[in-house]
Each structure stands twice: as structure tokens, then as C-alpha cells.
């Protein structure tokens, strides 16, 4: 039975009115109708859809909640990485950041740089994907490359439009695809309500609004997420197809016209003096906002200049977070003990009288090393100032000497490892004592946890409690032993059921064939992080070639310095590590090989491909550059060696001409490559 035309028309009218009301409420902050009137519109639309289910579409305002989460969260691959920001804590550090950018751009000190300053919202970063104006998926930041798909939970947030709004002077053509990035947060009022209700029913009390927002986004029941009344400010863009933006300020203006909430406290600043005034002003007034901020994000306004500056590793050069000083409190040092890290580093830790710092109860704080204890003269029984460094790691800032009574006792660093009893050693030029015993229980546990971590072999379900039991009872003495574990052995662990045990064993089996970069990182070589692992995997292509590389060969690899090269060679020369590699091979660990440089023809050269290539696929062309020792980039700058222009090349070709960068046709690139 067909739906009467007047019913269809009324449903369309109601949908349009509700979307317009949402736009005025969230984007413009100027509602024209009362909450009661809004509720009446929504109720009428719901009744029409109940009577005529054919009217229901995924974009209907009534469909924010209605589906149930199935199983665990699935991976959400970002088309363009979600980068993290470098931090500045003073005007001097902001100035140093600008001077680095001036050198990259070739600008003299008199040329002003236009910045956009935005409040740094203290919440949980998300990425929203829209296709032709419709919200299709959303995910957490995760590793920056891959997050978790939380689409159903994000749909419950009223300030996220399910269909982009068409405002005046914008037109109806939306990008074919766009990743819109923002921060999900909780207001102080909503945070207080959630904790008050939880306290009444004996539920979980959240430490701060940021944790509450992150936890709410990862609920398996979207109705629970909806009950938390999360909010969102959007502020940047990931992948975008079918539209180009000129500046950050234009981007924010467009987002607002599309129906998003953008933070109203944004300012264009000409030069760092205005930037610093903005930062100082909001440091004094941040308590008036009604939600948490932890600083100001400073961005170069021009997208063309942003592209020219590019990024370093996982952080953009064109933006920086000016972080406000952490909240500091006084407390008492009850005791000092040392911890043994996975590399054998001995770190003193202060046990404190528990105190709330920036909304989190702190009872332990790092003292870093013996030299730091002596420099600050920290003693057991002292009253000290503590803060959360970067609002993450608690640390002791200083001693309040005026409160010292004479009853305090000095802490003496141990001469032997508290875990295995081995004599401790301080390498020349280092401030940190180390345990050199490869079989030290604490080092073994640390190495197992690192090996199994998400950025390494990603063994799901193997947490600290399980790993600790496995090492204590001797089932696992090194990472290779994980691959010989049986179901019967796993079931001997406390609180270990067959389902969880099978899940962990399946994940261990799957990890045998992780990418080479993951395994290199998992080995725990000093000075080798995730990015360095990717560089080494791309250069050498196999673990065997990396293992046989000399210090000189390693030092010649782009982004690998002499200290790192020495650390790599030292690790592979160690007999214990040689035995570990042999055991991993016997256990069937065979990492997926990666493309490797086959010559140094393009060493030091950077290529940018633009337009449509007809003889090669772009991925293949970039792979050729890497195999010949060069780098493939997505943006044109003065450091670009060649731009390879295919058919319908656009702004990148124009930028290359402006900067005097050499331009090649696709055939000229192939000729340059040769055989």
C-alpha cells in the first residue's frame, strides 16, 4: 500500500524543520523555537514513521538510537592519519617553533605569519566520515592510523548532523567524501549529573570529564551513550574529495554552515604576540567555560603554507599545542621505592599521601633517577609539590623546605636489582642505573607486555595480570615462549576461562605473520620506536638483512642516527637475543616482508605525484621511488625534488611552478627510472 502524498510531504516538512532547529541550536547557538515545540515536532515525525515504516531513513532525526552494538568494536581505518600535536609550555618554546617554520619556508623575521588560535578541548578525538553530505561512519583516534568503529554511538550525539545542512550561499553540493575531525566532551554540569546518579546506585565514579567522555563513546549499548549527553566541537579535516579549503578559518566557517558546532572562542592572530595574549587571556578565564580545556591550539591559517610545512613523523609542523601549567598540589612522601623497566632502567618512585590533581587521585609519582632526587633533595617524609606532567604522568616538582622538620630520612639508591639481586650498572654518560640480567623477572615481564602490545605484535587479551602469572610460574621466560603455550597451561591461570584462553591463544597464533615493522618494534631494541621500525623495515625488507647490517650501513639510513645504529648492532650481537630470534623462527614467526630499496638512485630526492597517471598506478610509482632510495610525499614544498604531473593536475602543479620545483611528465619519470 503506497503512502499518501500528503503524508510524505508532511514527513519531509517535519524533517526539514527539525534539522533547521538543530542547526540553529548547535551551530548558530540561536534557537528560534522552545524545547517543548521541538519535542512536539519530533513526536509527530515519530508517529508518522510508526504508522508508515517506509518513511524511515538512516538520516531521519528519529534514528539516532535504535540499533544495538554487535560484538566488539571493529577497526576503523583513517584514510588520512590523525596526527598528534607537539607541545609548547612558554612563549620561548612558541618562538622556537615559529623560527623552525620560518627556516623551512624561507621567511625573514619581519614577514608576519597569520595564525588561528582555538581552545584545546580536553575530551576524546573522533573522526566522522560523510559521503555526499550523509554521515556514514565514525571512529576513535586509536593509533592515528586505525581507530575503533563507534558509528552507532556517535549517531546518538545530537550535535553531530546525520545530514549536512544546506545554508545560504553554500549550495547543495557537498564533498563526495570528507573526514571531519573533532573532540567529543562532557560539560561540567553533565559530568556532575552522571557521577551523582552513579553514586546513588553504587555505579562507577569517573575521575574526570575526559575519561567519562571516552568511556561513554565505547559503550556496547548506544542507549547508554545517548543518556550521557555528550557534545562535540569540530576543528580539522582528514581526507577530502570534491572540495578544497583555502584556510583553517574558512574550514571552521564552512563546518558551522553545514550544521556542526565549532568552538566560538576562535581568533585570527597576526604574529606570536597576539597568540600569546590569547593564550594568557583564556588561562585566566578557562573556569568560566563550563567544560575543560588544557591549552590553546595554534595553527598556521593558510592551507597552502600548511602543505608546504608538512609534518614530522606523527606531528604537523604547522600546528602546536600551547599547554597550560598543570595544576599543582602539596602532599607528603610516605616512601620511596624503585621500579625495574623492560630495558633494565631503575626508576625511583615516590609513594604519596593520596591527593586529587586535576580531577585524578594521585598516590605515586616518578622521581626519574638518582641525580634528580639529589638535585631536588627529596626525602621520605617531605612535603612536596606534585603535578601531572602534561596532565598524564604524575611527578614531584619540588620540596617545600619550609615544612621540613628534621625527621625526614634520605633515600639511598640500591646497589643491586630489587627483582633479581644482580649488581646494578650505570652506563657511561647516563644518569640511569640499569639491571643487565636478561632473565630478571621484571625485565622479562616488561618485554612480554611490550611484545604483546598493540603497536607491536598486538596479542589481544594478554594483559599485565596474565603475563605476570605466566612469568612467575615459569611458563614464559621470553616472548618466544608465548608460541608454545597450550590451552591446558592457560587454564591453570587464576580467573582464566576457556573462552578467554582460546581467544588469547588464537591472537598469539595470528601474530606469527605481523608486518616486519611490528616485529622490529616488538623486539624492544633501545631507541627504536614505531616510526623507526617502519623506516628500518622499508629500507632492509627482512629481519635477516637488518640483523647483518653494520653500524655504518645503519647510520646511512635516513632518520637513523649513530646512537640508534650502535644500539641495533649491539642488540643483534647479544647471545641472549640471538637465541631469542632462533626460538621465534622455530615457533613459526615469519613477518610479512616489506618493499625494500634496491639502489640509491633517488637517495635524498622527494617526489610528489599529482593528477591521473595512465601508465602506472600511483601506489606503484611511489613504491618505485622508495625502492630506489627516495621519498614519496603528498605535498609540494621547497624541499620537493620533482613533481610528476599526470592528466588534470591541479593545485600541486601550480605550487610546483610557483616554487620552481622540477616538473616531470609520467613518461619522463619512467625514463628517469630507466631499467
Task: Confirm whether 328-410 and 606-673 share one CATH topology.
Answer: no
Provide the CATH topology of domain 441-513: DNA polymerase; domain 1 (1.10.150)
pLDDT at 593: 74
Helix axes 575-586, 562-573, angle to 10 degrees: 70
- List the catalytic residue out of 80, 120, 172, 617: 120
pLDDT at 69: 47
Query: Would you kindly state where each structural domain of the chain is located, as residue ranges?
Result: 5-55, 98-323, 328-410, 441-513, 516-586, 606-673
pLDDT at 58: 76
CB atoms within 10 A of CB 522: 25
Q: Which parts of the chain register pLDDT below 70?
A: 1, 25-31, 34-36, 39, 64-72, 167-172, 199-205, 207, 313, 326, 358-359, 388-393, 531, 558-559, 594-599, 675
Provide the CATH topology of domain 5-55: Helix Hairpins (1.10.287)
pLDDT at 142: 85
Name every residue whose Cβ is closer than 8 Å to that of residue 178 and which is 6 or more positions away in sequence. 129, 130, 237, 238, 239, 240, 241, 242, 243
d(CA 346, CA 83): 32
pLDDT at 598: 62
Specify the CATH superfamily of domain 606-673. Answer: BRCT domain (3.40.50.10190)
Name every residue whose Cβ is closer than 8 Å to that of residue 41 and which is 6 or more positions away in sequence. 14, 17, 18, 21, 33
Nearest alpha-carbon partner for 19 in 152, 136, 137, 163: 163
Nearest alpha-carbon partner for 586 in 640, 512, 668, 671: 512
d(CA 81, CA 143): 9
Nearest alpha-carbon partner for 89 in 267, 257, 281, 325: 325
pLDDT at 648: 82
pLDDT at 67: 47
pLDDT at 167: 58
pLDDT at 117: 97
pLDDT at 423: 96
CB atoms within 10 A of CB 264: 9
Active-site residue flag, 120? yes
Provide the CATH topology of domain 98-323: D-amino Acid Aminotransferase; Chain A, domain 1 (3.30.470)
What CATH number matches the domain at 328-410, 3.40.120.10, 2.30.30.100, 2.40.30.10, 2.40.50.140? Answer: 2.40.50.140
Task: Domain 516-586: give its CATH architecture.
Answer: Orthogonal Bundle (1.10)
Amino acid at each position: 500500500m503506497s503512502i499518501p502524498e500528503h503524508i510524505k510531504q508532511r514527513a519531509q516538512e517535519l524533517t526539514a524543520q527539525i534539522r533547521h532547529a538543530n542547526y540553529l541550536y548547535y551551530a548558530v547557538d540561536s534557537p528560534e523555537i522552545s524545547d517543548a515545540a521541538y519535542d512536539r515536532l519530533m513526536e509527530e515525525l515519530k508517529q508518522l514513521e510508526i504508522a508508515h515504516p517506509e518513511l524511515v531513513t538512516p538520516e531521519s532525526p528519529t534514528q539516532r538510537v535504535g540499533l544495538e552494538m554487535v560484538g566488539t568494536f571493529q577497526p576503523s581505518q583513517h584514510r588520512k592519519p590523525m596526527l598528534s600535536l607537539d607541545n609548547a609550555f612558554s612563549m620561548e618554546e612558541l618562538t622556537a617553533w615559529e623560527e623552525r617554520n620560518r627556516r623551512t619556508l624561507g621567511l625573514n623575521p619581519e614577514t608576519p605569519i597569520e595564525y588561528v588560535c582555538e581552545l584545546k578541548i580536553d575530551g576524546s578525538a573522533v573522526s566522522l566520515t560523510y559521503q555526499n553530505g550523509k554521515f556514514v561512519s565514525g571512529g576513535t583516534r586509536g593509533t592515528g592510523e586505525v581507530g575503533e568503529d563507534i558509528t552507532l554511538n556517535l549517531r546518538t550525539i545530537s550535535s553531530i548532523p546525520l545530514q549536512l545542512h544546506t545554508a545560504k550561499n553554500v549550495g547543495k553540493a557537498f564533498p563526495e567524501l570528507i573526514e571531519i575531525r573533532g573532540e567529543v566532551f562532557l560539560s561540567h554540569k553533565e559530568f556532575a549529573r552522571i557521577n551523582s546518579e552513579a553514586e546513588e546506585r553504587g555505579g562507577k565514579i569517573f575521575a574526570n570529564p575526559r575519561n567519562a567522555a571516552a568511556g561513554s563513546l565505547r559503550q556496547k549499548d548506544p542507549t547508554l551513550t545517548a543518556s550521557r549527553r555528550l557534545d562535540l566541537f569540530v576543528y580539522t579535516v582528514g581526507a577530502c574529495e570534491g572540495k578544497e579549503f583555502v584556510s583553517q578559518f574558512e574550514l571552521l566557517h564552512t563546518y558551522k554552515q553545514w550544521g556542526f558546532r565549532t568552538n566560538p572562542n576562535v581568533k585570527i592572530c597576526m604574529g606570536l604576540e597576539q597568540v600569546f595574549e590569547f593564550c594568557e587571556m583564556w588561562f585566566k578565564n578557562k573556569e568560566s567555560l563550563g567544560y575543560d580545556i588544557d591549552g590553546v591550539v595554534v595553527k598556521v591559517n593558510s592551507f597552502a603554507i600548511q602543505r608546504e610545512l608538512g609534518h614530522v613523523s606523527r606531528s604537523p609542523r604547522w600546528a602546536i599545542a600551547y599547554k597550560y601549567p598543570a595544576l599543582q598540589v602539596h602532599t607528603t612522601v610516605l616512601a620511596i621505592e624503585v621500579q625495574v623497566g623492560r630495558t633494565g632502567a631503575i626508576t625511583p618512585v615516590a609513594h604519596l599521601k593520596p591527593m586529587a590533581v586535576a580531577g585524578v587521585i594521585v598516590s605515586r609519582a616518578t622521581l626519574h633517577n638518582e641525580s634528580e632526587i639529589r638535585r631536588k633533595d627529596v626525602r621520605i617524609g617531605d612535603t612536596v609539590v606534585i603535578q601531572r606532567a602534561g596532565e598524564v604522568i604524575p611527578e614531584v616538582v619540588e620540596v617545600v623546605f619550609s615544612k621540613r622538620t628534621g625527621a625526614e630520612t634520605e633515600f639511598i639508591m640500591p646497589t643491586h636489582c630489587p627483582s633479581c639481586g644482580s649488581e646494578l650498572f650505570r652506563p657511561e654518560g647516563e644518569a640511569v642505573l640499569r639491571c643487565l640480567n636478561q632473565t630478571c623477572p621484571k625485565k622479562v615481564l616488561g618485554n612480554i607486555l611490550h611484545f604483546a602490545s598493540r603497536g607491536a605484535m598486538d596479542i589481544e587479551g594478554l594483559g599485565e595480570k596474565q603475563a605476570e602469572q605466566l612469568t612467575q610460574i615459569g611458563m614464559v621466560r621470553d616472548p618466544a615462549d608465548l608460541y608454545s603455550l597450550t590451552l591446558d597451561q592457560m587454564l591453570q591461570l587464576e580467573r582464566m576461562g576457556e573462552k578467554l584462553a582460546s581467544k588469547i591463544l588464537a591472537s598469539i597464533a595470528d601474530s606469527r605473520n605481523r608486518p616486519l615493522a611490528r616485529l622490529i618494534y616488538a623486539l624492544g631494541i633501545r631507541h627504536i620506536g614505531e616510526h623507526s621500525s617502519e623506516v628500518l623495515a622499508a629500507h632492509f625488507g627482512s629481519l635477516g638483512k637488518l640483523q647483518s647490517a653494520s653500524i655504518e650501513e645503519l647510520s646511512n639510513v635516513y632518520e637513523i642516527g649513530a646512537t640508534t645504529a650502535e644500539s641495533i648492532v649491539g642488540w643483534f650481537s647479544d647471545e641472549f637475543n640471538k637465541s631469542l630470534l632462533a626460538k621465534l623462527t622455530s615457533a613459526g614467526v615469519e613477518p610479512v616482508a616489506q618493499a625494500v630499496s634496491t639502489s640509491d638512485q633517488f637517495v635524498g630526492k622527494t617526489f610528489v605525484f599529482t593528477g591521473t597517471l595512465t601508465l602506472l598506478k600511483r601506489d606503484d610509482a611511489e613504491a618505485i621511488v622508495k625502492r630506489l632510495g627516495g621519498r614519496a610525499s603528498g605535498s609540494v614544498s621547497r624541499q620537493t625534488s620533482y613533481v610528476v604531473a599526470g592528466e588534470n593536475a591541479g593545485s600541486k602543479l601550480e605550487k610546483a611552478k610557483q616554487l620552481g620545483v622540477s616538473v616531470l611528465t609520467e613518461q619522463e619519470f619512467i625514463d628517469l627510472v630507466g631499467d
